Structures are given as structure tokens and as C-alpha cells.
Amino acid sequence: MGRVLGVLGGMGPAATTAFMARVQALTPAAGDEDHVHMLVDLNPRVPNRHTRPQAAGRTLGAMAARLGDMGAEVLAMPCNTAHAHAGAIRAAGLPFLDMIALTVEAARDTGARRIGVLATPGGEALYAEALAGAGLEAVRLSDEDRAAFMTAVLGFKAGDFSDGPRAEMRRLAAALVGAGAEAVIGGCTEVPLLLEAGEVTAPLVDSAEVLAAACVKACA
């Protein structure tokens, strides 16, 4: 019998529900009982990870402990930026599937050495550190494009489902490839909701897909 997966979610809600669907789709199940048992705390009121990091850490630590009390045996969090608070989550005493580390490993497996990063400023910093630790080079957006990335993501979160944010994400991915990226990490869980692999001329490493596959491996 598989282990129970606890998901720290809500950052944002659409990314969390898409992640749950990925876990379900990747599970080799012949029937209902073969799917992963998930306990999901979809909490869109986690304090802002950019402007209130200490409060966010406390909230995420409490969420992890609560999921453990409910019976979770493995924890995962489909939000890259919030991995800055991985220590608070690990304090709950449960195995935590590190989205950043897993995605960097998947990027390295593409054979690329120069890896573009589509992420929030906080997520980009986490990936730059992890990529350097793996002997890889991060290719970053310019300051102007970093602001454009946040505008596209926040617009989507606010309900802009037009092609505007999608076109901008395509442009930003192309800018990274143009700057020498041999692969691109979708290092924000909104990225795969706005950008498809076929729209990038280099391999696109989807952090949400990578984490979902790791959850299936750990819990199915």
C-alpha cells in the first residue's frame, strides 16, 4: 500500500489543482484504489512569500505539521518560491520532496550546461544557487524581463486568461534561449499553465511535472 502524500498548496490555487491532476495522470492505476492518497491544504492565504517571508515560513511550518497530524507520510509543495522555507517544512519531521533539487537534476539529465530560469526573483535565486551547486550555469532574465515575467504571472493569477500572458511567456522563454540557454526550467508553477514545451526551441523542464512524477514514485 502506498504512502499518503501531503500537499502544501494554494500558491496559487490553479497551480495546485493542476499539480493534483498531474499526479493523478502520472499514476499507473488500474482502478481508483491504485491512485495516490493525497491530503491537500490548499491555502491561498499563506502570507506573501516576497514581502512577508518570515510570516510565510511560520505558516508553511504549521501547515506541514497539520498535514502530518492528519496522516501524511510524505510532503510536497508545488510552489518554487516557497522552497526558501524548506527548513520550516522539514521541521515537521516528514520526508519532503524538494522541487528545486529534483528539477535541477532533471535539467542536468537533458545534457545542457547553461540552463535558463523562468521564475520569480525568489525562485530564480534558489535555482541559481542549486544549479551552481550542480556545476551548471544559470541564464537569467534581464531586470526588465524579470518584471515582465511577474506581470504575466500576476495577471494570470488575477484571471487574465487571454493570450497576453501566454505570448509574454513565449517571448521570455525565447529571450533565455537567445541568451544562450540550452534548456529552460519552468521554475514557477504558473509557467506550465502559460507555456507548452512545443513553444520553446530548447528542452523545457517543467518543475511541476518533475515534482508530480517524484510524488508518484514515492507514494504510488
Which residues are tagged catalytic? 79, 188
Query: Are 61 and 83 contacting, i.e. CB atoms less than 8 angstroms apart?
Result: no
Residues 6 or more apart whose Cβ sits within 8 Å of residue 159: none
Bridge partners (DSSP) of residue 183 are 115
Selection from 127, 171, 126 nearest residue 148 by Cα: 171
C-alpha cell at 27: 499514476
Bridge partners (DSSP) of residue 118 are 186
* Count of Cβ atoms closer than 10 Å to residue 43 Cβ: 17
Q: Where are the alpha helices (DSSP H) in the chain?
A: 13-26, 53-70, 86-90, 99-109, 121-133, 143-157, 163-178, 191-194, 207-219
Selection from 198, 203, 190, 218 nearest residue 79 by Cα: 190
Selection from 132, 143, 142, 127 nearest residue 186 by Cα: 127
